[in-house]
Amino acid sequence: EGDAVRGYLEEDGVRSDSTTPTFVALELGVANWRWQGVPFYLRTGKRLPRKVTEVAVVFRSPPTEFFHPLHGGSDPHGDVLRITLQPDEGFHLSFDVKQPGPSFELTKQSLEFRYAEAFDPLPDAYETLLVDVVEGDATLFVRADEVEASWELYTPLLDDPPPVHPYRAGSWGPEEVGRLLDEGAWQAGRG
């Protein structure tokens, strides 16, 4: 809400030289033919500018661009599909379209859907989870093989942790994240 917030090192009982990580950014890949060469960027942290859980899909530009810049035309941008899981469930698709007329000027347009606008408010996540427990519906719960795969993935990071980089409370994380994520993917997730 624009209020200044205290950083982790300013909290009561936290040592001023603490190196407890409060932010992580990872680039991962899936080792199969379908996802070969497709990077997956994960990031999470404390005291970011807003609380949001979302998936941002940044589409690659096609190898041949139909609306390439001609006589001062504009450059196309990658389309972005942002699926918001919380707090405002829905999706936002942004894409370039050619403006009417003889020039090749592109403009960014979007399509949106929000559950709250189309339906009654959704129940709280814990309310849904408790109803699923009572009804014996395990579809939203993590299976044992998923937990084991997670430990297999993250144990090397726990055994040999990367350096901790400080960042300002209320920011999107340490400046060093820029080296991990290219500017397009990083910006797409900020939306």
Per-residue pLDDT of the chain (191 residues; tens, 9 = 90+): 446 778 888 889 999 888 888 898 888 888 888 888 888 888 889 888 888 888 888 877 666 666 555 545 555 567 888 899 888 889 999 888 888 887 777 788 889 999 888 988 778 878 888 999 999 998 888 889 999 998 998 899 889 988 888 888 888 888 888 777 654 444 444 43
Q: What is the mean pLDDT of the chain?
A: 81
Which stretches of the chain are DSSP H helices? Answer: 115-118, 125-135, 144-159, 177-180, 183-190
pLDDT of residue 68: 58
pLDDT of residue 91: 92
How do residues 128-160 score in pLDDT, each as one tens digit?
889 999 999 988 888 899 999 989 988 998 899
Instruction: Tell me how far apart the alpha carbons of residues 78 and 58 are, in angstroms, rounded to a whole number.
Output: 6
